[in-house]
Chain A
Amino acid sequence: MKLGYYPGCALHGSSDDYEQSLRACFSALGVELNEIDEWICCGATAAHSLNPKLSIALPARNLALAAERGFTEMLAPCSMCSMQLVKAQHLMKKDAALADEIAHIVEAKPNGTRVLNLIQAFERVGLDKIKAAVMNPLQDLEVACYYGCLLTRPPEIVEFDDCEQPESMERIVAALGAKPVAWNYKTECCGAGMTLANEGTVLELSHKILADAREHGAKAIAVACPMCHVNLDMKQSAIEAQHQTKHEMPIYYLSDLVGLALGLEPKRLGVNRHFVERKD
């Protein structure tokens, strides 16, 4: 299987452990990822907040580049990027005049490339196929599956899973032999891209997520977003200091867990590059 691949800026920056993980994982599953040449930033929260037209145009340029190269499906593993891409597509589909204007602005015509988040890409491979490829079941690992804000919302735009009580990641984790836990914060916000500019909010929100996961028996949290990983993993020691507690909660990209279950070495997946290590 071949997929177009839109890494987004984080996966080519300080979250390149996420790219390392998913490349190793999809390669093991026989999926070829083809990076879209000349992709540009999706504009993220900044364009969304400051210039609505730009927040459609930047993702639209990438959709057009993917369509020009003939990709009908494209993986966007950052939940901000995937939401922005799907949102641009949704708005242009609803409004033909806007679609024409955006095509003129971006000097290319976006077409119907289907954007997949990481969970959807694994579903595309097939849970049965993943289950059959498991060499090293993650027995007894209790995992809190964390979706954050953007994987399931806005629901009318992303049209993915249940926006309040999603279960798609739990199905993948269960296929790996791990035990997904029931908990309360799976779709709460971690503070996302406010890590630098509004650290207080990130430390508060992410603390609640870590505490709730721990209270419900999780030994690890699975994420499918680079920003969620930064806030829960890299900022975990600052959260612990601020709240005078110990979470000691390892945070895995979903692709880490799939890769580990497939028998890949943690180092190959980049798990050794995370801030919080698994104790046992």
Chain B
Amino acid sequence: MDALRTEAYRRGITNEKQAPVMLFQKAFLDNIRRNGRLNEIELILQYKMAGFAATRRPGMLFKDATLGPKLQTRKKLHLIGEKVRDRGVVRRIFDRCQNGSV
């Protein structure tokens, strides 16, 4: 199944129902490539913007918005995400894996 999924991604074949999952995973990896660690707020914004651009459905932007204050109350919302100091090595790892060049 993993091999089929990877091949489908490579060929750009996505079932419409699963399209949000693909958008989310691409946004996730893009986030890691830039920061080395996941920045949750940045990921959510990026995912929602990409989803809105693809679907033109405003609901996509506002879904889960009510969770923000609840997370804030529990001190679970971190506006400033972490970054590793050496982001160069993270980019090189991504480039080598994505371009196949070693």
Contacts and interface: CB of A to CB of B under 8 A. Distances in A.
A216 B75 CA distance: 33
Contact of A104 (B24, B25, B78, B102): B102
A197 B24 contact: yes
A38 B85 contact: yes
A127 interface: no
Interface residues of B, number: 43
B47 A273 contact: no
Contacts of B54: none
Interface stretch (A54-62, A137-145, A242-250): A54-62
A16 B76 contact: yes
A212 B67 CA distance: 26
B76 A49 contact: no
Given A40-B36, A48-B2, A52-B2, A196 B44 contact: yes
A50 B21 contact: no
B102 A14 contact: no
A247 B20 CA distance: 29
Contacts of A105: 93, 96-97, 102
Contact of A101 (B37, B74, B77, B102): B102
A12 B93 contact: no
Contact of A197 (B47, B81, B85): B47
Interface in B28-54: 28-29, 32, 36-38, 40, 44, 47
Contacts of B40: 9, 13-14
A14 B24 contact: no
A99 to B, nearest CB: 13
B7 to A, nearest CB: 11
A107 B9 contact: no
Interface string A101-115: 100111100000000
Given A196-B64, A197-B21, A198-B21, A275 B6 contact: no
Contacts of A234: 67
Contacts of B89: 61, 106-107
A91 interface: no
Contacts of B84: 38-40
Task: Select the residue from A46, A101, A106, A275 with max chain B CB neighbours within 10 A.
Answer: A46
B85 A17 contact: no
Given A105-B93, A194-B21, A41 B36 contact: yes
B86 A51 contact: no
Contacts of A51: 6, 29, 97-98
Given A13-B40, A105-B96, A198-B21, A41 B32 contact: yes
Given A41-B37, A106-B93, A50 B26 contact: yes
Contacts of B74: 17, 273-275
Interface of B: 2, 5-6, 9, 18, 20-21, 23-26, 28-29, 32, 36-38, 40, 44, 47, 64, 67, 70-71, 74-78, 81-82, 84-86, 89-90, 92-94, 96-98, 102
Interface of A: 9-10, 12-17, 38-41, 43-54, 57-58, 61, 101, 104-107, 194, 196-198, 234, 273-275
